[in-house]
């Protein structure tokens, strides 16, 4: 695993919704080696533990992150001004590996949408994207995904924008036309996607979220249950062995 610790300049900050922010962090060397689905471990001023945030995109020597204010750490991050220095360890973890020629459906749910942008951009116009949100006020990154030029569907749970219902509705309609599914979002959504993929005999990879401390496999803080071939459960690190896992090996 190749990564580095760097002080990066916050070159652009945008507010996407009242609680979601987009940061462009200047880090040319790190940007060059970052793969879709990997994450950055961000040092929050005044906090000891770093916060893991997925790489949303890589552009012009910058790593883009998009994060939601969930607690104290992300609130402090959101208050940083353009020009500030942000210390990050990146790129971390194992991301989505897309074999050449495979037709992939990328699915993001809520704040699980950002990591799908770089992944779908890398896959190009032959992929499909389904992004699901609670309601219209939570919808993010629409224009960025449109630019990819791929099949693109947005859903909201309450029908206030896009297709009414969960991402699994459009997934069921298009799944037979694709080879593989990659998803990131809330656990119930991932479980349902994994079940649909299994029913249709499709490969499925999911990006899991877990509380983290070190971020590099040294503290056991981020253990997740993984099923062995014989059905017994072992534990792996979300930070080092993941965050992307084969859906059928996750002990949900």
**Residue numbers of the site for ligand FAD (CB under 6 A)?**
39, 49, 51-54, 66-68, 70-74, 111, 114-115, 209-212, 243
Q: Which is nearer to ligand FES, 27 or 239 (CB)?
A: 239
Which does residue 219 bind out of ligand FES, ligand FAD, none, counting CB within 5 to 8 angstroms by kind? ligand FES
With a CB cutoff of 8 Å and minimum separation 6, the contacts of 146 are 152
With a CB cutoff of 8 Å and minimum separation 6, the contacts of 187 are 252
Instruction: Measure the CA–CA gap between 250 and 252, rounded to whole angstroms.
Output: 6
Q: Which is nearer to ligand FAD, 45 or 149 (CB)?
A: 45
Report how far Cα 115 is from the mean position of its chain's Cα atoms: 3
Query: In whole angstroms, how close is the CB of 121 to ligand FES at the nearest point?
Result: 27
Which does residue 52 bind out of ligand FES, ligand FAD, none, counting CB within 5 to 8 angstroms by kind? ligand FAD
Q: Which is nearer to ligand FES, 95 or 162 (CB)?
A: 95
Which does residue 54 bind out of ligand FES, ligand FAD, none, counting CB within 5 to 8 angstroms by kind? ligand FAD
Q: Which is nearer to ligand FAD, 74 or 168 (CB)?
A: 74
Give residues in contact with ligand FES (CB under 6 A).
Answer: 212-215, 217-222, 237, 239
Q: Which two tokens stand for residue 95?
A: 């991301």
Instruction: Measure the CA–CA gap between 173 and 160, rounded to whole angstroms.
Output: 21
168 — alpha (psi -120 to 50), left (phi > 0) or beta? alpha
- Terminal-to-terminal C-alpha distance of the chain: 26
Residue tagged 């981020």 (tokens)? 222
Query: Beta partners for 109?
Result: 132
Which does residue 156 bind out of ligand FES, ligand FAD, none, counting CB within 5 to 8 angstroms by kind? none
Query: In whole angstroms, how close is the CB of 213 to ligand FES at the nearest point?
Result: 5
Instruction: Measure the CA–CA gap between 140 and 196, rounded to whole angstroms.
Output: 25
Which does residue 67 bind out of ligand FES, ligand FAD, none, counting CB within 5 to 8 angstroms by kind? ligand FAD
Query: In whole angstroms, how close is the CB of 86 to ligand FAD at the nearest point?
Result: 14
């Amino acid at each position: 695993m190749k990564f580095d610790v760097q002080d990066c300049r916050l070159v652009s900050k945008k507010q996407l919704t009242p609680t979601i922010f987009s940061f462009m962090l200047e880090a040319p060397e790190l940007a060059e080696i970052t793969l879709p689905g990997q994450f950055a471990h961000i040092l929050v001023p005044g906090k000891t533990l770093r916060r893991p945030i997925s790489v949303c995109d890589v552009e012009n020597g910058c790593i883009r992150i998009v994060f939601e204010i969930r607690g104290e750490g992300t609130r402090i991050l959101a208050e940083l001004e353009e020009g500030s220095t942000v210390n990050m360890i990146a790129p971390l973890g194992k991301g989505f590996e897309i074999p050449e020629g495979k037709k992939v459906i990328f699915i993001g749910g809520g704040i699980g949408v950002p990591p799908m942008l770089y992944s779908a951009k890398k896959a190009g116009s032959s992929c499909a994207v389904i992004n699901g949100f609670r309601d219209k006020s939570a919808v993010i990154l629409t224009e960025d995904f449109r630019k990819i030029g791929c099949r693109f569907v947005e859903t909201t749970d309450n029908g206030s924008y896009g297709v009414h219902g969960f991402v699994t509705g459009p997934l069921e309609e298009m799944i037979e036309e694709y080879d593989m599914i990659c998803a990131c979002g809330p656990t119930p959504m991932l479980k349902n996607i994994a079940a649909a993929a299994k029913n249709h005999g499709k490969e499925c990879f999911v990006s899991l979220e877990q509380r983290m401390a070190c971020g590099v496999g040294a503290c056991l803080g981020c253990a997740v249950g993984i099923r062995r071939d014989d059905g017994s459960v072992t534990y792996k690190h979300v930070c080092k062995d993941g965050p992307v896992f084969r859906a059928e090996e996750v002990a949900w």
